[in-house]
Amino acid sequence: MPLAAALLRADAGGVSDRVDQGRAGAAGGRRGRRLGATLQRLAASAVTPLVPGDYLDLFAPLRAGAPLRARVVQVQRETRDATTLVLRPGKDWAGHVPGQYVRIGVDVDGVRRWRAYSLTSLVDAPDGLVAVTVKAIPDGVVSGHVARRLRPGALLHLDQATGDFTLGAHRGPTLLVTAGSGITPVMGMLRNHLHELSDVVLVHSAPTSSDVVFGAELRAWAAEDRLRLLERHTSVDGLLSVEDLTASVPDWRERHTWACGPTAMLDDVEAHWADAGVADRMHTERFRPTVVATGEGGTVSFAASGAVVEADGGTTLLDAGEDAGVLMPSGCRMGICFGCVVGLRSGSVRDLRSGDVTTAVPEDGIRIQTCVSAAAGPCEIDL
Amino acid sequence: MATSTRLSTVTTERTLTPKRSGKPDPTAHLDAEQVEALGRELDALRKEVFDSRDAHDAAYIRRVIKVQRSLELGSRAVLLFSLFPPAWFVGTAGLSVAKILENMEIGHNIMHGQWDWMRDPKIHSTAYEWDHASPSELWKHSHNELHHTFTNVLGRDNDLGYGIMRVDEDQRWYPAYVMQPVWNFFNACFFEYGIAAYDLELGKRINQGTLDDPEFRADVRKVLTKIRRQMTKDYLVHPVLSGPSFFHTLGANMVANLVRNVWTHSVIMCGHFPEGVETFAKDSIEGETRGEWYLRQMMGSANIRGSKAMHVMTGNLSHQIEHHLFPDMPSNRYAQIAPRIQDICSRYGISYTTGTLPQQVASAWRQVIKLSLPDDTGAAQTAALLARGAATGVRRRVGALLRSRRGGPAGPRVTATVTEPLPVAA
């Protein structure tokens, strides 16, 4: 009942908020609100134990009040491994600031997987569409699916935009340092703000000329003298060093710099800027690491109880937790009853029956059966 | 420490425990090596299917959910005009089917965790609440954990007769069982409430006299809240919305719930009660390995043969054997593995009990009727046993009543009439 009640409340809240907006300022506002709330309760009691939204989802998955989703409107190939998705977000989409990213849940082979992608579209597009650009990484489950199999019409799941890799109020001299898909948040900034910026240098690295995502658009701007574009084609010229960078942009200290790309590149520029005493002028964006070290066993932390134990690869998380005095929910102890399912906040675990490894980061909301899972590297459990 | 032996397929020795009846252990013909091989074979089959779960499976359950919800909405809309007989019939039929689909192919299977792998928070064992009197939380404990782990173990698996019936000759006979065909009929009509009482372990609580245990009382409140909501929906909100069709919609909803109760009761009775299904002695599961557990699941379950539509309407519990082997396998895959399970059974000399729906329902009812009487007794002997049982019962109840009048502890004494074995003719 607590769950059902919470769902009911959550749903009722959503609708009455909408009623509030719709009737704001009207004379009969309060009566309307009461009527709305009554209708909402009636609808809830007519469909219990589901919620009205479960039925509305059949017809209007993008409506206000629904969990945030998006419909794929267009799938555009940018380069051989980059794809832009044009999306119609649900009614509750709150907009974004250029440079921010959005977490997108894509059902790949039936499994919902969440990834963060930078928004590259105009913030005030008249059609209300937004765009993200996804670069396929080798063996990338989600990026590979987006590049090869996703079609217009598909429904995706969405969070609100987030991230502080943005220009803020800055409109002065600007240096942008990007590599690979690191161009995507910067493209969001440029498309929205280039006309307000007077002095922009973009140093972008990609293996070859044809690998430069948004290459044509960037070169057109450079041709019109709207920005200075320095392309580094790493398959010929090698990786960009900090020395190369500072040599080609001698006034780098005077500029505010936004950098996005591989970890090594970001580490280098951050260190260099810090040594020069201008760390406050460096803004970086790090993408989620895609490779997580996995092994046999590891340190298991229990988030709520604070217990930390070392468990080997053959010890179930249930046993490890019980031995550490954590109050573990349990049932059949053989993987069939699902009475022990809890959240895996982060880290990797291995299913002792199949050997399959499950990896989670905090926002993923992944749940696992502790009675048949063992640590496969450090992991954190929601207990 | 408490790591279950059932996580391991390694089987080194076999302990066979005969049952009270003296019947041999049905798995006695298999040695440890064979049981271990069987366990590995079934583990490999499980892995093969689980590794191949993909977008088609996800699309299947989403399609079933969509069809079910559309059918329920449509049927309830039609029932707004249930004053007109055609609307009443169409709406009632549609709602009955929708309610059956929801409980069986959707609710039961989601709560088993069959779809957890999709990571869809709405189709997840920890979140789904079904259209049923018993809250999913309680049901999951008594069904997923107790019944599926201890399937057909005498004294451990209360699903064997739900604690109110004798469905195996190795269960002790009590005079009250003479009425069990009648109980079974009423249980069929009010099945969801029977399950709610069962999930609360109401019978055990009454016998133990622990009705005022705080945990139990909290569970009772949960059940009553759920029942109140369910009843408000079916017997108040929708009838009121129907206006002049109030009583017709009320009746339609009652019929739909009755149809679902009888249908689910029949299907579930076919799972473990029909003739040919084996039961196991309590001691036989000490140190049970994964292979031995698989063995027990196969011999302790019975399938129903029939059309695709029948399989869906039973929530694929018609593939009870496959379901008991792999309770968390997506239900749409049971049909696919059934021939291979049947092949495994024949290779290892294990029974694979199956039959059509009418055959299996009849078989289960035959058991209920046959076992309502003590074994190997003539009519006169049975009558004598019943009379003696009734006399004992009356004497004890009157005694308890008198004692309680005097302020003595009445509760536990009454249990004696239920638990103390009565002499059964040898």
Torsion sign (Cα): B394, B399, B403, B408: negative
Rg (CA), chain B: 23
Taking contacts as CB-CB distances below 8 angstroms, the residues of chain A near B220 are: none
**Residue B218 contacts A, CB cutoff 8 Å:** no
In degrees rounded to 5, what are phi and psi of residue A154?
-65, 150
Of B102, B9, B94, B100, whose CA–CA distance to B47 is shortest?
B9
- The percent of residues in chain B predicted with pLDDT above 70, rounded, is 93
* pLDDT for A9: 38
Strands (E) in A245-365, as ranges, are 256-260, 282-285, 298-302, 308-311, 341-351, 357-360
Give the other-Cβ count within 10 Å of B130's Cβ.
21
Amino acid at B101: L
DSSP state of B268: H
- pLDDT range class, residue B417, cuts 50, 70, 90: very low
Is-contact B175 B382, C-beta < 8 A? no
Q: Closest residue of A to B4, CA-based? A: A333
Packing angle between helix B357-370 and helix B180-189, nearest 10 degrees? Answer: 140
User: Token pair for residue B179?
Assistant: 């009425």
Rg (CA), chain A: 25
Q: What is the mean pLDDT of residues B308-333?
A: 98
Is-contact A327 A337, C-beta < 8 A? no
* pLDDT for A289: 54
* pLDDT for A10: 39
Is-contact B44 B328, C-beta < 8 A? no
d(CA A242, CA A247): 8
Residue A61 makes CB contacts below 8 A (sequence gap 6+) with A69, A71, A90, A155
Asked if B7 lies within 8 A of A334 by C-beta distance, the reply is: yes
Give the other-Cβ count within 10 Å of A244's Cβ.
16
Q: What is the mean pLDDT of residues B9-13?
A: 83
Q: Looking at per-residue confidence, does B259 or A352 come out higher? A: B259
**A277-280 LR contacts (CB < 8 Å, sep 24+):** A278/A253
Is-contact B178 B372, C-beta < 8 A? yes
Is-contact B386 B377, C-beta < 8 A? no
Instruction: Please name the residues between 402 and 421 in chain B that touch chain A, using a CB distance below 8 Å.
Output: none
Query: Residue A242, class by beta-carbon neighbours within 10 Å (0-12 exposed, 13-18 middle, 19+ buried)?
Result: middle
d(CA B351, CA B353): 6
H/E segment holding residue A297: none
Alpha helices in B274-378 (DSSP H): 290-299, 308-313, 320-325, 334-348, 357-370
Q: What are the pLDDT digits (tens) for B340-385?
A: 999 999 999 999 999 999 999 999 999 999 999 988 766 777 788 7
Phi-psi domain of A365 (left: phi exceeds 0; alpha: psi -120 through 50; beta: other): left
d(CA A334, CA B145): 10
Taking contacts as CB-CB distances below 8 angstroms, the residues of chain B near A107 are: 55, 58, 118, 120
pLDDT surpasses 90 at B287: no
d(CA B257, CA B253): 6
Q: What are the pLDDT digits (tens) for B56-95?
A: 999 999 999 999 999 999 999 999 999 999 999 999 999 9
Taking contacts as CB-CB distances below 8 angstroms, the residues of chain B near A341 are: 113, 116, 125-126
**Residue A45 contacts B, CB cutoff 8 Å:** yes
State how far the alpha carbon of B272 is from the alpha carbons of A353, B112, B330, B350, B392, in Å: 27, 18, 21, 16, 33
pLDDT surpasses 60 at A290: no
Expressed in percent and rounded to 5, the helix, strand and coil fractions of chain B are 65, 0, 30
Is-contact B195 B141, C-beta < 8 A? no
Expressed in percent and rounded to 5, the helix, strand and coil fractions of chain A are 35, 30, 35
Token pair 């970890």 is found at A263
- CA-angle at A304, arms to A299 and A310, nearest 5°: 15
Structure pTM?
Answer: 0.88
- pLDDT range class, residue B390, cuts 50, 70, 90: confident
d(CA A330, CA B3): 12
**Residue A334 contacts B, CB cutoff 8 Å:** yes
* pLDDT for A292: 54
d(CA A216, CA A82): 14
Interface test with B, best of A8, A41, A69, A338 (most B CBs within 10 A): A338
